[in-house]
Amino acid sequence: MRAGSVASRAAAAAAAAASAVPATRIICSYEMKKLKMSKLKVIPEKSLTNNSRIVGLLAQLEKINAESSESDTARYVTSKILHLAQSQEKTRREMTAKGSTGMEILLSTLENTKDLQTTLNILSILVELVSAGGGRRVSFLVTKGGSQILLQLLMNASKESPPHEELMVQIHSILAKIGPKDKKFGVKARINGALNITLNLVKQNLQNHRLVLPCLQLLRVYSANSVNSVSLGKNGVVELMFKIIGPFSKKNSSLIKVALDTLAALLKSKTNARRAVDRGYVQVLLTIYVDWHRHDNRHRNMLIRKGILQSLKSVTNIKLGRKAFIDANGMKILYNTSQECLAVRTLDPLVNTSSLIMRKCFPKNRLPLPTIKSSFHFQLPVIPVTGPVAQLYSLPPEVDDVVDESDDNDDIDVEAENETENEDDLDQNFKNDDIETDINKLKPQQELGRTIEDLKMYEHLFPELVDDFQDYDLISKEPKPFVFEGKVRGPIVVPTAGEETSGNSGSLGKVVMKENIPSRGDEGEKKSTFMDLAKENIKDDRTLQQQPGDQNRTISSVHGLNNDIVKALDRITLQNIPSQTAPGFTAETKKDCSLPLTVLTCAKACPHMAACGNVLFEGRTVQLGKLCCTGVETEDEDTESNSSVEQASVEVPDGPTLHDPDLYIEIVKNTKSVPEYSEVAYPDYFGHIPPPFKEPILERPYGVQRTKIAQDIERLIHQSDIIDRVVYDLDNPNYAIPEEGDILKFNSKFESGNLRKVIQIRKNEYDLILNSDINSNHYHQWFYFEVSGMRLGVAYRFNIINCEKSNSQFNYGMQPLMYSVQEALNGRPWWIRMGIDICYYKNHFSRSSVAAGGQKGKSYYTITFTVNFPHKDDVCYFAYHYPYTYSTLQMHLQKLESAHNPQQIYFRKDVLCETLSGNTCPLVTITAMPESNYYEHLCQFRNRPYVFLSARVHPGETNASWVMKGTLEYLMSNNPTAQSLRESYIFKIVPMLNPDGVINGNHRCSLSGEDLNRQWQSPNPDLHPTIYHAKGLLQYLAAVKRLPLVYCDYHGHSRKKNVFMYGCSIKETVWRTNDNATSCDVVEDTGYRTLPKILSHIAPAFCMSSCSFVVEKSKESTARVVVWREIGVQRSYTMESTLCGCDQGKYKGLQIGTRELEEMGAKFCVGLLRLKRLTSPLEYNLPSSLLDFENDLIESSCKVTSPTTYVLDEDEPRFLEEVDYSAESNDELDIELAENVGDYEPSAQEEVLSDSELSRTYLP
C-alpha cells in the first residue's frame, strides 16, 4: 500500500512538473520580448534556463515546502536534484546563477524538513555546489543565509544521542568550506554554541578519522577568530592537538596535516602560545620536526613538515616562545635541517619558513653606536616647540637612545591572522582617512600670508620686470614689427639619449664631427688621454699643492676632463684613448680638430700618495684623498691600437663645458660644512661622464636572499668565527687605523659623504653603519664613502645595517654605484653600477622607540652587496646614487654664466638667501634677451609667463640635481628650440633648496633636522630660510598678478621605476573617495594633465600610468599642494625620477644613468614649449583627446597600511624565495610610503598623441 501511494504521488509530481514547463516557457518568452523592447542586454550563461529538468524539480520542491507535504516526496525530489548536481556542471551553474531561487529553496527545505534523508540529500547538494564552483558559489551561499541555517542544524543534530555520524560529517564539511567566506562566522559559531559541539566530537571520536577530519577543519576556521581561539584553548584544544600529531608515520597523514594547521592557527593566540610553552610543546615540535625530516626521504610529506614549522612560527611570536626555542637548541636544529633542504628546490617553503623563525628568534642586538643621533652637532638658532627635533633636544643626556630595555620584553601580539577573503567579497571602496574629502578645503584659495610691504623685499630679484635695457648691447637697435610669439613652428626634436645624429642635426644646434688623432707611430707626443698628473709635490699628507700662475699646474687627476671632452659627453668613448706608462708623470695639452686632449705619460711608480691642487686658503687646507699610483695599470696595447677616437662620431652639444677641477677646488674652499671638511673626493674632482654602455637592471640569482640570511644566522651559531673589529669610526677620532695589508680602509670625510662606522665581521665582510641626518636620529639611506687597500680576486661583502625603509629597489634589480680612481686614470672617469648578490632584508639590530617614532620592537634593515674590485690597491668610491654636491652646482652655474651669449640669453644668478650654516642658496633667472629696448620688444619681454622650478629639497635624491642640470644646460644652449623656449617664458629656478643637507651628507633633512618639503605651509625664516624665501618669491608673483604657468619641484623616488609626476586635482581626489564618481558635481579645468601627457609622448623615461593627481592630507604642507592651494598655480607638480631604472618604453630593463636623467630635464623643457603652443589663446585649441582623462581612470588594487596611509600595492612582484621578515605585528610601512607610492593609476592604454595633433591649428 505504501509503495503504491509513493508511486502514485511520484507520477502526479512528474505530471505537475511536465505541466509547469510550458507555462514557464511562455512567461520566459514574454519577458524576453520585453527585454528586447527595452534594448537591455541578456547574459545567457547567468540567466535561468527554465526548460531544464532542474527548474521543474526546484519548483516541485518549493511547492512541497509550501504545502508541508509528506517527506517521501521531498526525499525523492532532492535525490533527483542531487543526481543532476553530481553529474552536470550545467545544473550547478543554473542553481547558483544570478536570479536563480534554487539556493533559497534548498535552504528553506533544509531549515524546515524533519526527514534525515532529505537533510542529507540537501547537504550533499550544497557540498557539490561549493566544491566545484570556487569562491563565488561559496559567497553566494553565504549571502543567502547558509551559515546561520547550517549552524542551527548543527545545534539540532547535536541534541541526538549519539549524534548521527553521517549528518555530522556533512555539516562540518560544508561549514569548513563556507566559514572563511563569512566575515561574521566566528561570532555566529560562538553565539550558537557550535565551538564546544565540534570540540567534544573530536574528544569523543579520536579513533574515528572520518568524523574527526572535517571537525578539525572546522576548528581551524573557528580559530581564525581570536576570542574563539582563546575559548577553545581553555577547553583543552591545544593538548588535544598534540594527541593527534606525533612522530613520523605513514598512516593518517591527512589527519595530522589538518591537526597541524589547526594548531598553528590556535597558537597565534598569546594565551594558547603560553600554554604550549608551559607544557614543553616547543621541544616536542622540534623533536617531531627532526623525526619527519629524517624519515621523509622522498619528500612526500612536505606539507606536514611545513605545518610543524608554522606552529613553531606561531608560538615564537611571544618572548617565552622565542626563549624556549633558543633553549631547545632550535636555532641549530633549523639551521642544519634547512641547509640539508637547499639541494631540493621543492623544499624551498621549508627553508623560507625556517629562515623566518630563526630571524625572529635571533636575539635582538644593540646597534654598536654610543647614540643614534648624528655624529655631527649643529646648534640651532631657534629650538622648535614641538616635533621630533624638540624631543631630541629635550632628551636627557643620560638616556640611552640606541635601544630600549623593554624592546625584547614586549610580546608580539598576533592574536589571529586576517580572515581569508575572496576578491568577490572585498569592498573596493576602502575608507581612506588620508585623502582630503572636504571640497571647500580642496578648492585653491589664494592666501598671500604676508603683506605687500613685506613682499617688496623680493623686488630686487625680479629686475626683468622693470629693466629698460638701455645699457645692454642688444642684437637689434632698430624697431621691428611686433610678431606674435605663438606662431606655428615645426615639430620640436630633442636628441634622445643614445640616439644617433642625423644629417640635419645642424638645425638642432648640434655638430657631428670626426676626431682625427695621429697614430702612435706618427707623432709620439700626441699620445692622448685626458689626465694631467703631478710630476712633483707628491707628499704623504695628501695636501693639495697649487703653483699660482703656473699655466701647466700639476694635478693628480683629470684636468677638468678637458672642456671639449665633457662637451661631448653624450657620445665620446674614452675607454680606448691610448695611454702608456713612461718615466715620470708629465703633462702636455695638444689640440687637434678643436677637441683638445691632455696627455698623460707616466715615468715611474709613484709613492703611495699623490698630492695635487691648492694648499692654504683662509686657514683651510683642501685635500684630495690618497691615490696609490704604484702599479698604475694602463690599457693593453692591442686594445689601444685597435680602436681610436677617430672612429667615433662625437656629438658636441653647443652648451658650455661645465666641469673644471681647478674651479671646483676654489669653490670647495668657500663651502661651509658642519664637520669642516678639508678633503675632496676624487669623483667630484675628476668629474663624471656617462659610460658608453648600457647597464641593465640586475637579475638576482634565485636563493641569494636566504643565503645571506643564513650567513647572518651563522654569526650566532658560530660566534668564534666573527672578528668584530672596528676599522672606521667617526664617533671615536682616536680609533686605530688598521695597518694590516688585507684590511680595507674607509673614509667619508668629504662633501656629501656619509659613513659613520665600519666593523670587520669576517675576513672579507664588513658591517657599515650610516650617519643620521644632523639634528635627527634617523633617515639612514644616502651613503657615499671611499674604500682603499683592496686585493684582486677577492669577493668583499658590504652590509649597510641601519636602513629603515621596509623595502627597497635593491630587491628589484638596482645596484649601488662605484667609481674607480684607477679606471679614471685609465680613461674611464665614470660612475658605474656595481655589485652582485644584492638584497635588502630585515636584520637582528633593534631600533629604539626613539628611533622608530614611538613604536617599540622594530628592527633595522640591511642592504648587502658583494664586490670584486677591478684593480689592486685602487681607491674606489661607493654611493647610493650618482653624487651631485653643492660645490658641483656652484661650479656648473659659474661655467654657465661665463659661457653664455649675453646678447641672446638673459641669465642672472642671485642669492635667494643664506642657509643656517652660512652657505648661499642660488636663484637663477633665464629667458631670452629682448630684440631691442623699444617698447614693443620690452612689452613682449616683460609679459612672458613665468615658469618656477626647484629641486633637491631632499639631499639624498641626487637624481633630481642631474635632471635639473639637464634643464639648465638645455635652457642655456644655442639650440633653436631652446631659443624659442626662452622667448616664451621667464624661468625662475632654485636648483638646490637644501644646500646644507647636501653638503653634510644628509638624506632627507636640513640642519634643522626637519623635512623641508613638509614646511611649506608655515616656514620659519630662522629654521627654514630657503623654503620661506622660495615661497616668498611665489607670493610676490601672485601679489603682482604674475602667477607662474607651471611650478615643478624635482624629486627622486626610491621605490618605483620610471619618471612620473604628482599633481593636484579636486575632481580626481573626490573620485578616489566617492562611490559614484560620475555623479560628482565638481567642475574643474583639466589643464593640469596636459604637461604630464605631453611628457609621456616625448620623454622615453616618463610613465603616465604612474602619475597621480590626488591630494592627501598628509601632503598638505608639501610644495606641490601649497603652491596649488595657497598660491593658486593650477599646474603645480612634483616630478619623481627613479633611482633604479625603467620598466617600460625605450629604456625598459635598464638602470637609469645621468645621461637619461639629463635628457629628462631637457625633455621637460620641450614639453613646456609644446604646452605653450597648445594653450595659446589666439591660435590653438586643446585637442580633446589630450585632456580626456575620464577613460584613463581605473580601479586600483589598494590596501590600507595604516589609518593615515592609503597606497597601491608595491609596484614590484615579490621574489619567489622572499619571505616576510616581520617579527612583529606593528611593523608597518614607514610613514613616508604614501609619498613614495603612487595612489592613482590611469589605464595602460594611453591615447596616441602625435606631433600633428600637438601642433594642429584651429582657425575661426
Identity of the residue numbered 537: N
715: closest CA among 325, 327, 358, 352? 358
Three-class secondary structure of residue 1034 per DSSP: helix
Residue carrying the nine cell digits 654569526: 715
Contact 743, 712 (CB under 8 A): no
Q: Which of 62, 804, 1136, 1217 is catalytic?
A: 1136
What is the C-alpha to C-alpha distance for residues 996 and 886, in angstroms, rounded to an integer? Answer: 8
Q: 551: which residues sit within 8 A by CB, 6+ positions away?
A: none
The C-alpha angle with vertex 809 and arms to 1015 and 350, in degrees rounded to 5, equals 130
**Phi-psi bin for 1149: left (phi > 0), alpha (psi -120 to 50), beta?**
left
Residue carrying the nine cell digits 647614540: 371
What is the C-alpha to C-alpha distance for residues 197 and 163, in angstroms, rounded to an integer? Answer: 10
Cβ atoms within 10 Å of 72's Cβ, excluding its own: 17
Instruction: Compute CA 916 distance to the chain's CA centroid, rounded to the nearest angstrom.
Output: 32
What is the C-alpha to C-alpha distance for residues 1002 and 369, in angstroms, rounded to an integer? Answer: 18
Retrieve residue 398's grid coordinates: 643620560
Contact 235, 206 (CB under 8 A): no
425: closest CA among 175, 640, 204, 134? 134
Retrieve residue 375's grid coordinates: 655624529
Contact 1030, 990 (CB under 8 A): yes
What is the C-alpha to C-alpha distance for residues 729 and 746, in angstroms, rounded to an integer? Answer: 9
What is the C-alpha to C-alpha distance for residues 74 and 68, in angstroms, rounded to an integer? Answer: 10
**Phi-psi bin for 59: left (phi > 0), alpha (psi -120 to 50), beta?**
alpha
Residues facing 928 on adjacent strands: 905
Q: 291: which residues sit within 8 A by CB, 6+ positions away?
A: 247, 248
1158 a catalytic residue = no
HEC states along 487-533? Answer: CCCCCCCCCCCCCCCCCCHHHHCCEEEECCCCCCCCCHHHCCCCEEC
Residues facing 859 on adjacent strands: 846
Retrieve residue 524's grid coordinates: 709620439
Retrieve residue 247's grid coordinates: 612522530
Our separate counts of H helices and E strands in the chain read 43, 31
887: closest CA among 926, 922, 924, 925? 922
Retrieve residue 419's grid coordinates: 580572515
Q: 1173: which residues sit within 8 A by CB, 6+ positions away?
A: 486, 488, 489, 1180, 1254, 1255
Q: What is 861-917 written as a DSSP string?
A: EEEEEEEE-SSTT-EEEEESS----HHHHHHHHHHHHHHS-TTTEEEEEEEEEE-TT
Q: 28: which residues sit within 8 A by CB, 6+ positions away?
A: 50
Retrieve residue 1205's grid coordinates: 596611509
Q: Regarding beta strands 623-624 and 679-680, do their DSSP bridges make them parallel or antiparallel, or are they unpaired?
A: parallel
Contact 917, 673 (CB under 8 A): yes
Q: Which residues are catalytic?
A: 1136
